[in-house]
Amino acid sequence: MLSGQHRAAPPLSAVRRLTAALMIVGAVAHSGFLLEFFLDTALSPWHTLPAYLAVGDQPYRDVFRTVDWIAGCAFVLMCPPLLRIAPVHWLGRLTVVVIFATGVILLLRTALPLECVPVAAGPCDAPAGHFLHSSVLLPAVQYILGPVIVAAWWHGWWRVTVCGLLAVQLVTWTVVIVLGWLDLGWFTGLAVRVQLVACSTLLMVGAVYVLSMGTSRSSGTARRDHSRKRVVACPE
C-alpha cells in the first residue's frame, strides 16, 4: 500500500519521476571520485581513501567537495517525495530514514573535510580526520543497513540484485576493518571505492524500481478493467 495522496498534491507519476531523477543525480555524484581518473591528483586510487581527494592541499579539492555536496543534497531532497510513494509499512519508512541519514553524513563530511597535516618533506603525510571520516560504523549505516532493509521488503529479482550488492558491501567493509586492525593501507582505497560504486548502483536500481511502480500499477489496473469487461460481456 502506497502513501495516501492529498487532493492538491501532484500526481504520483510526477512524484515518481522526480524521485527517480534525484536518485540518479545522487548516484552519479556519489561516484564523483571517478573524476580522479581524468584529473592529476597525484594520489593512488588503490591505497588512498577517496576522502583524501578533498583535503586542503589538493588542487582539485573544490571539485570533489562539490560532487559530495551534490550527492548529499540529492539524498536529502529525495526523501520527501520518496515518503509519498514508499509503502506505508515500517520497513519502507526506515529505508527513507537511512537515505536521509546518508545525505546528512555526506553534507557533514563536506562541511568538515579532512585537515592537512604538514610535514617537512612536502604535502600532507596523513590527513587528520574525525569521527565522520575515521569511524567504521558510519559506512555500516550507509552501505550495509540500507541494503539489508531494502532486501527485506523487495521481492523477486529486485531482492536478488540487492542481496548481491549487499554481499559486495559486506566483503569490502570486512576488508577495510581488517586492514585497519593490521594498520595496513594496502588496497584500502580500492575497497572503499567499490563500496561507493555499489551504493551508487543500488540507487540506480532504486530509480528503476520507483519508475516500475507506476508501470506495474498501470498494468494491474488494465488487467482488472479487461476482466470486468469480459464479465460484463459474458452472456447469461
Cell numbers linked to 12 = 504520483
> How far is the C-alpha of 177 from the C-alpha of 80, rounded, in Å?
34
> How far is the C-alpha of 72 from the C-alpha of 139, rounded, in Å?
15
Sign for the pseudo-dihedral over CA of 213, 214, 220, 224: positive
Q: Please list the pLDDT of the chain residue by residue as tens digits (236 residues).
A: 344 444 455 688 899 999 999 999 999 999 999 999 999 998 889 988 888 898 877 889 999 999 999 999 999 999 999 999 987 789 999 999 999 999 998 998 888 877 765 544 444 555 555 555 555 566 777 789 999 999 999 999 999 999 999 999 999 989 988 888 887 778 889 999 999 999 999 999 999 999 998 765 544 444 444 445 444 444 44
Length of the chain in terms of residues written? 236
Cell numbers linked to 31 = 561516484
What end-to-end distance do the CA atoms of the chain give, in Å? 36
Helix (H, G, I), strand (E, B) or coil at 135: coil
> How far is the C-alpha of 180 from the C-alpha of 49, rounded, in Å?
12
Residue 132's pLDDT is what?
A: 55
Write the pLDDT tens digit of every residue in 119-138.
Answer: 444 445 555 555 555 555 66
Instruction: Give 147: exposed, middle or buried? Use CB within 10 Å, 0-12, 13-18, 19+.
Output: buried
- Asked if residues 101 and 140 have their Cβ atoms less than 8 Å apart, the reply is no
CB atoms within 10 A of CB 110: 20
Write the pLDDT tens digit of every residue in 53-74.
Answer: 988 778 899 999 999 999 999 9
Residue 224's pLDDT is what?
A: 47
**Where do runs of H (alpha helix) occur along 78-142?**
79-85, 90-111, 131-134, 137-139
Sign for the pseudo-dihedral over CA of 137, 138, 143, 149: positive
Whole-prediction pTM value? 0.82
- Asked if residues 189 and 46 have their Cβ atoms less than 8 Å apart, the reply is yes
